[in-house]
């Protein structure tokens, strides 16, 4: 196969990829654990959009909770339910989007501009 990466960049990229893939996984798991604990009585909750990710990535709330997403990035993002339940307009820096979750269930969502950005709301 005549395929090759060119230059020293190749090595740097490969190392970075391995390293980054590892650290991503750890961070996602931590997000899930942290948020599970302190959501009992909330009627309002926040998700921060920062560094091309939703934090917390998984947010567990009681039914009736209004969640507000705020974009803290220099780049616009969106908040779009994977199952078509809710869909924000494109949110530029510091713009917000809110949605009230009336019913229990699991609500996966993503940024339609950067679909690698995914998150989940669990309503109990």
Partner 1 sequence: MSDIRQDVIRQKVQDLNDDGVDRRGFLKCMAWAGAGLVWTMSGGVPVSRAIATGGGHARDGSGGGDFSFVQISDSHMGFNKPANPDVAATLQVAVDKINGLPNQPDFLLHTGDISHLSRAEQFDTVDQILKGAKAKDVFFVPGEHDVLDDNGKSYLERYGKDARRGGWYSFDHKGVHFIGLVNVVDLKAGGLGSLGGEQLKWMEKDVKHRKHSTPIVIFAHIPLWSVYPEWGWGTEDSAQALACVKKFGSVTVLNGHIHQIMQKVEGNVTFHTAMSTAFPQPQPGKSDSPGPMKVPAEQLRSLLGITQVNTIRGKHALAVVDSTLG
Give residue for tokens 């893939």: 21
The backbone torsions φ and ψ at residue 7, rounded to the nearest 5 degrees and listed phi first, read: 80, 180
Q: Is 114 in the site for Cu ion (CB under 5 A)?
A: yes
How far is residue 94's CA from residue 6's CA, in Å, rounded to a whole number? 40
Binding residues for partner 1, per CB under 8 A? 1-9, 12-13, 16-17, 19-21, 24, 51-53, 73-76, 78, 80, 82, 89-90, 92-93, 108-110, 112-116, 118
84 binds, among Cu ion, partner 1, none (CB under 5 to 8 A by kind): none
**CB 64 within 8 Å of CB 101:** yes
Q: How far is the CB of 40 from partner 1 (least distance, A)?
A: 29
């Amino acid at each position: 196969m005549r395929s090759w990466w060119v230059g020293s960049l190749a090595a740097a990229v490969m190392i970075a990829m391995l390293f980054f893939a590892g650290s991503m996984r750890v961070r996602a798991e931590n997000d899930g654990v942290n948020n599970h604990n302190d959501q009992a009585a909330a009627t309002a909750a926040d998700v921060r959009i920062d560094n091309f990710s939703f934090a917390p990535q998984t947010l567990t709330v009681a039914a009736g909770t209004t969640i507000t997403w705020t974009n803290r990035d220099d780049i616009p993002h969106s908040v779009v339910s994977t199952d078509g339940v809710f869909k924000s307009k494109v949110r530029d820096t510091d713009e917000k989007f809110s949605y009230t979750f009336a019913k229990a269930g699991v609500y996966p969502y993503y940024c339609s501009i950067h679909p690698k950005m995914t998150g989940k709301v669990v309503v109990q």
